[in-house]
Amino acid sequence: MPVSLRPVAAPRGAKRIVIDADGTPRAVTNAVDVLGYVDRTLPRIIAHVAHVNGALGVTAGAREVFVQDARGRVRMLRPNASATLRRGEVLFLQWSKARGTRHGYVLERDDGVGEVQGAEVIEVVDSESDDGTAVKVGRGAASGGGGVGAVDATGDGGGGDARRRRRRRAATGGRRARAPAPEDGLPDDPVELQSARRALKGAHRQLVNALQSEVAMRQTLAQSQLDFQRTMRGRADYVLRQWHKDNLGMIAGKYQQSQFAASAARISYQEALRLFHAAVERAEAARRGGAAASPNGRGGRATTSENHHDAREERYELAKKALEAECRAWEVLLAKDPTEMSLKDLRVVATDVGVDTTVLVERGDFVAALEKKKKAGDVEFKERKRKREAEFDAAETRRKARREKEEEESAHREAVQQVSIWSAHADLRLFLHRCGISIEQHGRSTKSILAKAYRQAMLKFHPDRARQKSTRERALADEVTKWLTHAWQSVPP
């Protein structure tokens, strides 16, 4: 199938650059028979291109060229540098932001597909030219909210294809791959799995609503563009043209907001789907009794212990944050007069200090409740704060001891593993060599020959010398000393 580079931002008279689909390289030269025009600022050989596996390999010539990706980011290819141009990306033979010079081409097959699958080209009128005609700016929006960035579409090449695609998408609402609706669960599913399934269904509904809103805004934007173009061609007065222009800008902004909302809904759905799959895996492991989690059958108990530990940590953090919020609220309540506080601050302070706000409606209700709480609950709060701080200090001490114990156990396991690696199929001579101790003499492994190296190893790994070192170094010194002491007893004199 023939492949070509369609001009999207090029001088008038620019034509497609046809490329062989079998991978034969072609030189893009600065000539009329290739580009359709001649630019004296460009070199004779601009770049070399070749079609490879649905993409286009680009190698810059004597000057740099530029590639704009689907997110609108532009990167420069220095002379003789190579890159890959995919569908939806733009190859600029010349790009100058200061002078506004952009000679851009986009990869396209003869089936009319020039962008990433699922993307659309929307021509948004940006300003007026001198003769009153509309100057369009092509904006690509992929399924994730990105696309071919702002590219001037004033050239002749490819304008009809973009216009036909825009009209077809305005009529059909565009194509958008939507996630399937979650299936209903079983009555005997665990509570965690049921909660994850409900959250997934809620995220799916939000995603569907966001995509429908995006399609509606896309259709509204296309209609607003057509109305603006008719107004410009009809030579309407300035007031009407300015109104259509402002209206088009407003609708374009709302369409961009709908794209952002759809992208956020898609991310939320993916996160809910990940949590749902994790809940399914945990439910399956629980049904199997946890035997598959560990070969000795203790995987279920270990997992349960880890879950309890995580739950305790979470409860501790929540309680600590709640106490901090209550302390801040009491500080505000004691420092300010409730009658001078805003309704928002009154509601926040009342919630944090423990006032029941479900029965409070007017501002006076909040002020009266806070003044009553301020008179009656000050001493009680200080006593509760003192007890809570003592509990948190004890909990922090336990947490610190638990972390130190876990670190020691981890260091011990790593030290045992390291010593087992050093001692694998090794005698004392080979073990000392693996520990980094050099042995000058060769021959039999006797005590008289290995005595010097043994003393060096004991000085290096003795536990008394590792007291000021880290936990992992102390654990390694203990294990190495045990192995050396045992091995030294079995060495012949």
Which of 287, 309, 342 is where one domain is finished?
Answer: 287
Q: Out of 295-299, 366-370, 429-433, 481-485, give the one with best mean pLDDT.
A: 481-485
The mean pLDDT value of the chain amounts to 75
- pLDDT at 119 (0 to 100): 35
Residue 347 or residue 124, greater confidence: 347
**Residue owning tokens 């402002």:** 246
Q: What is the CATH number of the domain that holds 457?
A: 1.10.287
CA pair distance 241, 235, nearest whole angstrom:
9
Q: Tell whether 429 is covered by a domain.
A: yes
Backbone angles phi, psi at 137, to 5 degrees: -125, 120
Are 27 and 142 within one domain? yes
pLDDT over 50 (residue 277): yes
Per the structure block, which two tokens stand in for 276?
A: 């749902």
Residue 60 or residue 318, greater confidence: 60
Number of domain units in the chain: 4
The candidate with the shortest Cα–Cα distance to 142, out of 108, 172, 107, 177, is: 177
Residue 144 or residue 104, greater confidence: 104
- pLDDT at 148 (0 to 100): 36
pLDDT over 70 (residue 111): no
Question: Residue 24: which domain range?
Answer: 3-158
- pLDDT at 145 (0 to 100): 40
Are 17 and 111 within one domain? yes
Are 200 and 154 within one domain? no
The candidate with the shortest Cα–Cα distance to 1, out of 76, 87, 92, 109, is: 109
Q: What is the mean pLDDT of residues 175-182?
A: 61
CB atoms within 10 A of CB 51: 23
Cβ atoms of residues 306 and 226 within 8 Å: no
Cβ atoms of residues 299 and 292 within 8 Å: yes
Are 214 and 316 within one domain? no
Q: Positive or negative CA dihedral for 154, 157, 163, 169? A: negative
Which of 359, 376, 393 is where one domain is finished?
Answer: 376
Cβ atoms of residues 258 and 217 within 8 Å: yes
pLDDT over 50 (residue 141): no
pLDDT over 60 (residue 160): no
Q: Tell whether 185 is covered by a domain.
A: no
pLDDT over 50 (residue 101): yes
- pLDDT at 292 (0 to 100): 43
Interval 179-222: pLDDT, tens: 677 777 777 778 888 888 888 888 888 888 889 888 998 999 99
Q: Tell whether 165 is covered by a domain.
A: no
pLDDT over 80 (residue 121): no
Are 357 and 244 within one domain? no
Are 327 and 201 within one domain? no
Are 233 and 322 within one domain? no
Residue 82 or residue 166, greater confidence: 82
- pLDDT at 81 (0 to 100): 86
Interval 303-312: pLDDT, tens: 555 566 667 7
Are 425 and 330 within one domain? no
Q: What is the mean pLDDT of residues 283-291?
A: 69
pLDDT over 80 (residue 440): no
Residue 276 or residue 334, greater confidence: 276
Q: What is the mean pLDDT of residues 432-442?
A: 80
Pairing of strands 101-109, 74-77: unpaired
pLDDT over 80 (residue 380): no
Are 337 and 435 within one domain? no
Give CA angle at 151 (38, 160), nearest 5°. 80
CA pair distance 297, 291, nearest whole angstrom:
5
Residue 432 or residue 172, greater confidence: 432
To 10 degrees, the CA torsion angle through 196, 277, 261, 137? Answer: -170
Interval 46-72: pLDDT, tens: 888 888 777 888 888 888 888 888 777
pLDDT over 50 (residue 133): no
Q: What is the CATH number of the domain that holds 153?
A: 2.60.200.20
SS3 313: helix
Strand (E) or helix (H) holding 55 = strand 55-60
Which of 318, 353, 376 is where one domain is finished?
Answer: 376
Q: Tell whether 338 is covered by a domain.
A: yes
Q: Tell whether 179 is covered by a domain.
A: no
Q: Tell whether 451 is covered by a domain.
A: yes
Give CA angle at 17 (16, 23), nearest 5°. 140
pLDDT over 60 (residue 16): yes
Are 265 and 372 within one domain? no
Q: Tell whether 78 is covered by a domain.
A: yes
pLDDT over 70 (residue 362): yes
Q: Within 65-190, where are the H helices?
A: 159-172
Backbone angles phi, psi at 218, to 5 degrees: -65, -45
Q: Tell whether 295 is covered by a domain.
A: no
CB proximity list for 176: less than 8 A, separation 6 or greater: 118, 143, 211, 214, 215
Q: What is the mean pLDDT of residues 212-238?
A: 86
pLDDT over 50 (residue 372): yes
pLDDT band of residue 74 (cuts 50, 70, 90) is confident
Are 265 and 371 within one domain? no
CA pair distance 166, 225, nearest whole angstrom:
10
pLDDT band of residue 256 (cuts 50, 70, 90) is confident
CA pair distance 124, 122, nearest whole angstrom:
6
Residue 102 or residue 130, greater confidence: 102
- pLDDT at 4 (0 to 100): 83
pLDDT over 50 (residue 437): yes
pLDDT over 60 (residue 143): no
Per the structure block, which two tokens stand in for 318?
A: 């929540």
CA pair distance 325, 393, nearest whole angstrom:
18
- pLDDT at 402 (0 to 100): 85
Are 278 and 425 within one domain? no
CA pair distance 169, 175, nearest whole angstrom:
8
CA pair distance 225, 261, nearest whole angstrom:
22
- pLDDT at 443 (0 to 100): 62
